[in-house]
Copies of this chain bind each other. A is one copy, B any other.
Amino acid sequence: MAKEDQITKWFAEQANADANAFPIGIGDDMAQVRAGDDGTVLITTDMLLDGVHFDLEQCTLEEACHKAMAASLSDCAAMATVPLCAVVAVSLPVNFGEDELKRIHAGIIDAGNRFGCELIGGDITKWKDVAQRFAVNVTMLSKPSGYHPPVRRSGAKDGDVVCVTGRLGGSIRGRHLHFTPRVAEALALTKAALVHAMIDVTDGLSVDLNRICKQSKVGAMLEMEQLPISDAARDTDDPYNAVFNDGEDFELLFTLSPAEYEKIRDLADVEVIRIGTVTDTMKIQALWEDGRIIDIMPDGFDHL
C-alpha cells in the first residue's frame, strides 16, 4: 500500500463522524456532508506545490492554477457529481504582487467556467522568507447528480468489468497541465448505467486500481494487450511501467457489471476502454497474450 494510503487509513480510523451527517468520510475522492433535510454537498481539498505538482520555471502561473482547479474537478468527476463552487487559498512568494494575483485568478476562472464551478471565496497569504515557493490550495464543493448516487471506491464486485476513459502514462510530458477533467463523461456514464466503483487515475493505474480493490475487498485481472498506452508513454523505455506508475492521467477508472457495461460500451462522446475484470483474489494481476500471469505491485507515483 502506498504510504499516503497507510496514513489516510490511520486518519480514517481515528474518525468518529456520524454516518447520517457525513454519509462519506475520509478515504474517498470526496467526503459527503448533509445540509438541511434533503440536500448534501461533497467536498475535496488539494494542495499543489511549485516544484512538486508543477514547476513555475516551465509553466505559467495560469497553467499551474488551472491544473489545481482541474485536479479538484477531476475529483468531482470521480464521484460522478456536479461541480458547484470552489474556494482557493494561495501562499505567495515575496516577489509576487497584483499582476501575479490576476494571473492566478485567470487560471482559476478559466478552469471553473468550463464546468460551471464558481469561485466564491479564498485566502491570500504571503511568505516572509525569500526562499519560499508558491502553493495553491483548491477546495471544491459538488452536488449529487440526482439520478445516480455519488460513486465510491468501495463498491466493486467480483465479476465486474474494469474500464478507463482514456490513455495512460507519460502525463508529465505535458498532459498533466492540460488534461480535461472527465466531469461530463462521469455524468454521462452514470446516467446510462449503474457504476459500482470509480476513481480518477492520479497516482498511476496500479495504485489507483489497488485503492478500489482494497476498499472493495476484491482483486482484479488486467489484460495487458487491452491497456491503452498514451503516445507519450510509448516514447519511454518502459511504456507499461509508465501506464502503471506515472500517474496524473486524470482519466476515470471504474467498474460495473457486464450487463451494465453493455449499456455504455458504445456511448457517444465517452471513450470507454475495457481493460480487465474484477476478481476475488484480493490482488492485482495482469494477463499477457501468451497466457502468463504476473502480479502487479501498487507502487505508482507517490508524492510522499
Q: Which residues of A contact B (CB under 8 A)?
A: 4, 7-8, 11, 14-18, 21-22, 25-26, 30-31, 33-41, 43-49, 51-53, 84-85, 87-91, 98, 101, 105, 109, 118-129, 131-133, 135, 137, 139, 141, 143, 303-304
Q: Is the CB of B304 within 8 A of A43?
A: no
> A28 CB to closest chain B CB, in angstroms?
8
Contacts of A122 in B (CB 8 A): 11, 26, 45
Q: Is the CB of B37 within 8 A of A38?
A: yes
Q: Is the CB of A26 within 8 A of B121?
A: yes
Q: Is the CB of B135 within 8 A of A31?
A: no
Contacts of A34 in B (CB 8 A): 39
A53-B121 contact, Cβ under 8 Å, with A90-B47, A135-B135: no
> A300 CB to closest chain B CB, in angstroms?
16
Q: Is the CB of A40 within 8 A of B30?
A: no
A125-B35 contact, Cβ under 8 Å, with A119-B15, A120-B22: no
A51-B11 contact, Cβ under 8 Å, with A38-B36, A45-B121, A87-B43: no
14 further A-B contacts with Cβ under 8 Å, apart from A14-B105, A36-B39, are A15-B118, A16-B118, A17-B118, A26-B119, A35-B41, A35-B143, A36-B36, A41-B41, A47-B123, A47-B137, A49-B127, A51-B127, A51-B128, A127-B133
| 28 pairs, A vs B, C-beta closer than 8 Å | A22-B118, A22-B120, A26-B121, A30-B121, A31-B120, A31-B121, A33-B84, A33-B85, A35-B40, A36-B36, A36-B40, A37-B38, A38-B38, A43-B141, A44-B87, A45-B89, A45-B123, A47-B91, A47-B137, A49-B91, A49-B132, A51-B129, A52-B128, A87-B139, A124-B304, A125-B303, A129-B133, A135-B135
